[in-house]
Structure 1
Amino acid sequence: MKLLVLGGTGFVGPAIVDEARTRGYAVTVLNRGHQPSPPGTTVLTGDRHSPDGLTALTGGTWDLVVDTWSGRPSAVRDAARALDGHAGHYTYLSSRSVHADTDTAARTEDDPVVDADPDSDDDTDYSAAKRGAELAAEQNFTGPVLHARAGLILGPRENIGRLPWWLNRLARGGPTLAPGPHDRKLQYIDARDLATWMLDAAEQGATGPYNVVSPPGHTTMGELLETANEVTGNRAELRWAGPEAIVAAGIEPWMDLPIWLTGHDHDFMHGADVTKAQRLGLKIRPVGETIADTWTWLQAIGGTAPQRPDRTPVGLDPAREAAFLAAMHQG
């Protein structure tokens, strides 16, 4: 099986390459060459921001393509056109963010999506860019096209910093703000489980959109933080606080306290129906395995996770956390 990964050096890309190599695939990666490419791959260099950025694909043929692009839709359009007739199946790593912001949180793949332009060169609106890229793949690749709509992605090599921030914060120890409720349900996908499912689905010729995350309530905020605290040495004293008090203090869900959300945002991010993906074999490893493996990786690279340049670093300032905990104690 010949696989082309458009990307392959960030977070999900290497997980796809690792899984493909365990299956004996011949793997080719196309990227800008700014980071080391995964070992055991054929490396093609190309910048999808440039007019001739796909020249290296000329003359190649592949059974499967996985596109991890998260920028302007026109780049996916150009890749789909270049690979049309030269690849058997196209998988686009999309996002559940393609769904429209309605009063009811999107649950299934059939819920309304945002308006988007598949020829757009704009990537400032993440939801529109992802949806536009889905349309670009569908309209410009005449073979089967699969959209893997992931939600929150965690695991080793995470370059957004959400789970790594929590692991480092808990390892630092001391009184630690734990955003509640303790039993707040969480839904995410380990990058390795995402990679496994995408390749399984591509091999089966699956098409259309799929929500690819764990079942709702796969874990809870309590289990996540308590397990992470245990893995990092039980140094932290978790001080649970309710969402009303946290938000009232100006502490932002998701950005200041990664993974954690409130209200409609929580219902959207952590409430997707994954029945369709489960029917196609989606399997999710225990949260403890994701946490332990991420901590092992983080320690191996010196404790500082790589940071995607197009994403704002996450995490609560220690002084603000201390002030909130002090006020909570006095109250």
Structure 2
Amino acid sequence: MRLLVLGGTGFVGRAVVDEARTRGHHITVLNRGHQPAPPGTTALIGDRRAPGGLAALHGGAWDAVVDTWSGAPNVVRDSAAALRGHAGHYTYVSSRSVYATDDKTVPHTEAAPVVDADPDSGDADDYASAKRGAELAAEQNFDGPVLHGRAGLILGPHEDIGRLPWWLNRIARGGPTLAPGPPEMKLQYIDARDLAAWLLDAAAAGRTGPYDLVSPPGHTTMAELLETINTVTGGHAELRWTDPKTILDAGITPWMELPIWLAPGYEYDFLHGGDVSKALRAGLRLRPVGETVADTWSWLCSVGGTAPQRTDRPTLGLSPEREAAALS
């Protein structure tokens, strides 16, 4: 395919480019020119948020577009409109966050209600509304088939959010380590490389509409994840399993201070209880957690242990002082 990748090539975009390269696709990327383009790609320079920032796309032609944009919906609106008649298929990498949660009903499938959103909005403060608005923007402004890849928790090499890298570094440091329980807690996530492979397959097949893209519940557990990390990083940590109430009573924030982990309850059920049978029927394939952990550790070591950090996301992780206080 002739493939156009929009939205950056730091993590998911990079995985898409890498997978497309292995398939022999002709890859074009649009960026502001602040970073070198990935090897084997054609680079176009442009700032999608600036007037005239899409001029480099004029006259181009692509079989498929993959857009990983996470900001204001009007950027996707303008990109989709600019590509009318110039691309055969548009994939927007969205999020399961688009589902409405006001009634506290867990949105298990793609048929669940979604949040209200404005496709013309220039506001990205509300993540769920921004993602849903971008979905609508693509639908309303592109003249071909549109696919919404609603990803869940994304892990893997080159992660620039800091979830799995934080756990890898913390457990590698060793010693008594707060392990948030219960150990048998089921987790749903997707390796960015598996996400990329499915997106390219789906684009080639002309799939449309929303697909929730994450592993089935229980693809791994909290215990398997942390024990695998401990094994891969040398086995220096003493995992001290701690019940959720003790963690919450200590004022430790789930998800932010203890990345990936959520205390049992509605938010946990929402994030780790989705029905992904639609994507599985459409060919979604998932590698084992051991491969994701080992490959991410290998990459993290290759960059000196410090993962890149997106500037639009907060720094994650529990400080040694707060961990020690909780363990004591």
- What TM bracket, shorter-length normalisation? over 0.9
- Alignment check: 8 A CA contact 1:2 1:62 kept: yes
Match of 2:64 in 1: 64
The residue aligned with 2:199 is: 198
- What value does the CA root-mean-square deviation take over the aligned residues? 0.6
Q: CA offset at residue 7 of structure 1?
A: 2.9
| Aligned amino acid, residue 286 of structure 1 | P
Shift of 1:37: 1.6
Find 2:272's aligned residue among 249, 270, 273: 270
Q: State the alpha-carbon separation in 2 of the partners of residues 137 and 26 from structure 1.
A: 23
Tell me what 1:19 maps to.
19
Give the secondary structure class of the aligned counterpart of 1:86: coil
Q: Give 1:127-142 correspondences, 5 Å limit.
A: 127-142=128-143
CA contact (8 A) 2:150 2:213 kept: yes
Query: TM-score w.r.t. structure 2 length?
Result: 0.99
Letter in 1 for 2:33: G
1:95–1:150 Cα contact (<8 Å) kept: yes
Give SS of 1:62's match.
Answer: coil
Report the Cα offset of residue 51 of structure 1.
1.4
Match of 1:316, SS state, is: coil
Q: Could you say what secondary structure the match of 2:89 adopts?
A: strand
Number of paired residues?
Answer: 326
Q: Which residue of 1 aligns with 2:47?
A: 47
The 1-side partners of 2:251 and 2:106 are apart by: 24
* Matched residue, 2:154: 153
CA shift at 1:9, angstroms?
2.0
Residue 302 of structure 1 aligns with an amino acid whose one-letter code is G
Residues in 2 aligned to 1:165 and 1:312: alpha-carbon distance in whole angstroms:
13
* 1:69-96 C-alpha deviation (Å, 9 max, x unpaired): 0000000000000001100000000000
**Aligned partners of 1:94 and 1:134 also within 8 Å:** yes
Distance 1:271 1:323 in 2: 32
Q: Given the two structures, how large is their TM-score scaled by the length of structure 1?
A: 0.98
Contact 1:8 1:17 in 2 (8 A): no
Structure 2 counterpart of 1:7, which letter?
G
The Cα shift of 1:8 comes to 3.8
Cα distance in structure 2, aligned partners of 1:143 and 1:196: 21
| Counterpart residue type for residue 281 of structure 2 | R
User: What's the CA shift for 1:31?
Assistant: 1.2
Q: How does 1:44-123 map to 2 (within 5 A)?
A: 44-101=44-101, 102-123=103-124
Aligned-pair CA distance for 1:12: 0.4
Distance 2:151 2:9 in 1: 18
Q: Which residue of 2 aligns with 1:225?
A: 226
Moved over 6 A (4+): none
1:132 is paired with a residue whose SS is: helix
Shift of 1:178: 0.1
Q: Which moved further from structure 2: 98-107 or 78-87?
A: 98-107
* Structure 2 alignment gaps of length 5 or more: none
Matched letter for residue 105 of structure 2:
T
* Separation in structure 2 between the aligned mates of residue 246 and residue 224 of structure 1, nearest angstrom: 19
Kindly state the Cα deviation for residue 33 of structure 1 after the two structures are TM-superposed. 1.9
Task: Give the AA of the match of 2:12.
Answer: V
Deviations 1:248-271 (A, max 9, x none): 110000000000012111111111
Q: Distance in 2 between matches of 1:7 and 1:142?
A: 20
d(CA) in 2 for partners of 1:104 and 1:291?
32
Question: Matched residues in 2 for 1:228 and 1:193: separation?
Answer: 20
Q: Distance between the aligned counterparts of 1:228 and 1:34, measured in 2?
A: 34
- 1:36: how far off? 2.2
For each residue in 1:125-159, what CA deviation from the matched residue of structure 2 results, as whole angstroms up to 9, or x when unmatched?
00000000000000001100000000100000000
**1:4 has 2:8 as partner:** no
Given candidates 290, 301, 325, the residue that maps to 1:288 is 290
Deviations 1:164-217 (A, max 9, x none): 000000000000000000000000000000000000001000000000001111
Q: Secondary structure at the match of 2:199?
A: helix
1:94-123 deviation line (CA, Å, top 9, x unaligned):
000000113121110010100000000000
Percent identity reads 73
Quote the Cα distance in structure 2 between the aligned partners of 1:89 and 1:16: 15
CA shift digits 1:278-312 (9 cap, x unpaired):
11100000000000000000000000000000000
Paired amino acid for 1:34: H
Q: What's 1:32 paired with?
A: 32
Q: Say whether the 8 Å CA contact 2:5–2:27 is kept in structure 1.
A: yes
Deviation at 1:34, TM superposition (A): 2.1
**Amino acid across the alignment from 2:97:** S
Matched letter for residue 75 of structure 1: V
Contact 1:9 1:35 survives alignment (8 Å): no
8 A contact 2:33–2:45 mirrored in 1: yes
Aligned partners of 2:8 and 2:69 also within 8 Å: no
Counterpart residue identity of residue 3, structure 2: L
Partner of 2:260: 259
